[in-house]
Structure 1
């Protein structure tokens, strides 16, 4: 994979090096943000399409169904994403963001086709793991790229665009499932995942390199030209000065373990785990299966998932307007409380058995989707994209992405097993506890970053650590004198 990225880096960089000057003009900001976030659509589509295809796969000869096999098919993509997220961040720091995005697009195309032509469960699981390399890479790289491109005053809204693309891809996957449900053609469902990847690769020529990466690698004039296209001249000068200042710190290969970075790493590991333990993804991946287990016909279950997907898209659109108004920390806390309540309602409805109201369950799930999409959905990607220092941002985001997908793997593989062993009601109660834990974590560890530049956030980390060390020194001196 490293050789592929290196070749892609040379190809992507060639026009700039031949000219010896910065790009004559930057692409329009809307173009940058759209193609920068397009990886989110691919991520969401692969999540949504497997939810509807699963029933048809299990009815195909040569694809025997079991709780473990179901967990591996759905969770296989998360298994590959663990490695993809970790490697993509490191490669992006070395070769740049654009070449890695190019390779991610290629993996999406090959992986989608490999899933579509699978002849048995083993083949399909292996193809899903391979496809997961791209899902993990895009999940760790897209938030970083958007955060680095966006001005501080609108960074929350623009970096959160990744979540809007994810839920849009999710809805497109659900719609594809419904369109093909009459034929049960799950192979075409899975193959169509290649289409957005083709658009991503075609649009890569319009996607500039991250200005922060350019400055870090001594290409300041190119960075200045790009920044001038996405913010005012005053903001561009201020950002360049701030980026230049933080890049003067000497990096160390073990800097991720440094004491001053530790608070960011605690958040970067804790938030991805707790995001999965909200329980949102069991609804996302298994909504049709849940509805069918409660007695609904498959086609009705698909209609219900489309309603949920639409609710999610509309909610994220509203949520993006709130990030820079209400702040990241407030939305985390409010979202945890609301999801704990809605998951409790879902558990209650599941406990009623045959007396359960499908309308009430759909309403509870919709509230869950709205709560997540207004808060944790967009905010967790924004916070992860902005809390890490520049020199280790790609590597740190890779670790956060790896943790995200390890937690996703645990949930997507574990849910069918937990449901069979504990029952649906007790499984949902488990996720109520996850939301309560998320609220307590954010109250203790998460600091507000609204309206601050990435460089100010980095300096904050250093200053808090220095104050803590000075306090320890003062206590030590007082103890020795007494």
Structure 2
């Protein structure tokens, strides 16, 4: 290949890498924005529509209901239409949902609008990492997936900052509507992206797959070698449902993935994400400004603590990091509940309560937040990976919805102290479940994990050599 041609291909490769990064950032950012934005908007929505605590829970949890439906349907959608057009549908739903939320004349329309946003989030949370893993060059594939996860936390922080800026005028419609801008950018960006070469090959469109890879990779030889690998891997047919019915060992992996997602959600982290201003109110910070800036600090700590997980996961391993994280969360929630039981009267007590809250967030962001997703992708055998991850992702959003739909009811029926004690007790239970059931998968190949699982080894031992 001539120098000119090689230079031209490298330039094309660099441009496509930029678009992949752009997509990763925007899809993750939108995911985080839609999770975080409701925390700041909810107090103003409550005042304008005069809604009950139960209706507030529906406003929050309706998005998670839509996300569960979107996650279940996105597997079929990405298979039939391809990853690119699935992302396009998600982007359109982000735009429609954001606009309808901003112009909602009543709480019923707002709930339906948030279901639409949930569908978009469900599609994005399934399809974006899948597309990135299939289209990004091997040298940046890991960093792209990691950046996607990081951008979710940055999106949450950006939503909190936006909410705080609009809170001075009480402009909750702008809080919800401003998300339309990155949603439109995502939609425009997806138009310029190529189809997934793996999806094209799976439909027998090998020449198109070769052309895409030729555009993406530095040399024609790299493109040809990767297409050969894709063809080889496609010989292993996905047989999720039939495998689930026929193989008890695969069922164990699916159930473990579901349990992991339930554990992640019932730590209580999303209670903090969705109801942060309410919790700061309980901690004695009465003014809207204090509550909103407290929420921003929550988002910032969440972003920074995610880097702890990135640094520890391959050094300490999954299990030690999870156990430490659950312990930190249990202590944070337990002490916070105890302080609310005693009464938070002094300024020093208020700030100590905030410190406990931030300690809880560090515990989550360094452990259960990212590591549950890592484990769920590692424990599923290749033949049933799509099915297993679809099941666990859908359960994540269902559990998320249950948490969002019950917190205010628990506060009203149990009281704030007992509510936080419940979450502290759950985190202690999760330490036990981690010891008894969760495997250590550090430095173990996916093929070895699969062999151990299918040979009938105990779940906690499927990460052994």
- Which residue number in structure 1 is paired with residue 50 of structure 2? 64
TM-score by length of 2: 0.84
For structure 1, the residue ranges without an aligned partner over 5 or more in a row are: 1-22, 470-482
Preserved contact between residue 26 and residue 225 of structure 1 (Cα < 8 Å): no
* Matched position secondary structure for 2:315: helix
Preserved contact between residue 214 and residue 222 of structure 1 (Cα < 8 Å): no
Give, in angstroms, the shift of residue 209 of structure 1. 4.3
Alignment partners' CA distance in 2, 1:266 and 1:353: 41
Q: Which moved more, 1:132-141 or 1:100-109?
A: 132-141
Change over 3 Å in CA distance of 1:438–1:187 after alignment to 2: same
- Which of 261, 270, 281 is the equivalent residue of 1:281? 270
Alignment partners' CA distance in 2, 1:37 and 1:243: 30
- Which residue number in structure 1 is paired with residue 428 of structure 2? 436
Q: 2:292 aligned with 1:302, yes or no?
A: yes
* CA offsets 1:355-395 (integer angstroms, 9 cap, x no match): 36221111111111112112221222333344434554444
- Which residue number in structure 2 is paired with residue 353 of structure 1? 343
Alignment partners' CA distance in 1, 2:390 and 2:277: 32
* CA offsets 1:214-256 (integer angstroms, 9 cap, x no match): 44444363575488469x969x958964872473347365334
Preserved contact between residue 236 and residue 383 of structure 2 (Cα < 8 Å): no
* Matched position secondary structure for 1:278: coil
Alignment partners' CA distance in 1, 2:90 and 2:264: 24
Change over 3 Å in CA distance of 1:244–1:27 after alignment to 2: farther
Q: 2:300 aligned with 1:313, yes or no?
A: no
Alignment partners' CA distance in 1, 2:227 and 2:256: 25
- Which of 246, 261, 264 is the equivalent residue of 2:250? 261
Preserved contact between residue 194 and residue 212 of structure 2 (Cα < 8 Å): no
* CA offsets 1:151-200 (integer angstroms, 9 cap, x no match): 88986654332321111111111111111112101111111111111121
Q: Which moved more, 1:179-188 or 1:443-452?
A: 443-452
Change over 3 Å in CA distance of 1:304–1:458 after alignment to 2: same
* Matched position secondary structure for 1:299: helix
- Which residue number in structure 1 is paired with residue 3 of structure 2? none
Give, in angstroms, the shift of residue 138 of structure 1. 1.8
Preserved contact between residue 284 and residue 345 of structure 2 (Cα < 8 Å): no
Alignment partners' CA distance in 2, 1:84 and 1:198: 20
Where in structure 2 are the equivalents of 1:40-439 lying within 5 Å?
40-60=28-48, 63-148=49-134, 158-205=144-191, 207-218=193-204, 219=206, 221=210, 225=214, 228=217, 241=229, 244-245=232-233, 247-249=235-237, 251=239, 253-257=241-245, 258-296=247-285, 297-355=287-345, 357-390=349-382, 392-439=384-431
Alignment partners' CA distance in 2, 1:434 and 1:67: 24
* Matched position secondary structure for 2:174: helix
* Matched position secondary structure for 2:248: coil
Preserved contact between residue 379 and residue 449 of structure 2 (Cα < 8 Å): no
Give, in angstroms, the shift of residue 35 of structure 1. 1.3
Alignment partners' CA distance in 1, 2:80 and 2:141: 24
Alignment partners' CA distance in 1, 2:192 and 2:415: 50
Pairwise CA RMSD of aligned residues? 3.1
Alignment partners' CA distance in 2, 1:226 and 1:326: 39
Alignment partners' CA distance in 1, 2:323 and 2:228: 34
For structure 2, the residue ranges without an aligned partner over 5 or more in a row are: 1-10, 459-465
Alignment partners' CA distance in 2, 1:388 and 1:412: 28
Change over 3 Å in CA distance of 1:438–1:37 after alignment to 2: farther
Alignment partners' CA distance in 2, 1:300 and 1:268: 39
Alignment partners' CA distance in 2, 1:174 and 1:391: 41
- Which residue number in structure 2 is paired with residue 9 of structure 1? none
* CA offsets 1:248-305 (integer angstroms, 9 cap, x no match): 3473653344334223312321111111111111111101011123432111000111
Preserved contact between residue 89 and residue 396 of structure 1 (Cα < 8 Å): no
Aligned length: 440
TM-score by length of 1: 0.82
- Which residue number in structure 1 is paired with residue 6 of structure 2? none
Of structures 1 and 2, the one scoring higher in RCO (CA 8 A, sep 6+) is: 1
- Which of 1, 24, 48 is the equivalent residue of 1:36? 24
Alignment partners' CA distance in 2, 1:392 and 1:118: 41
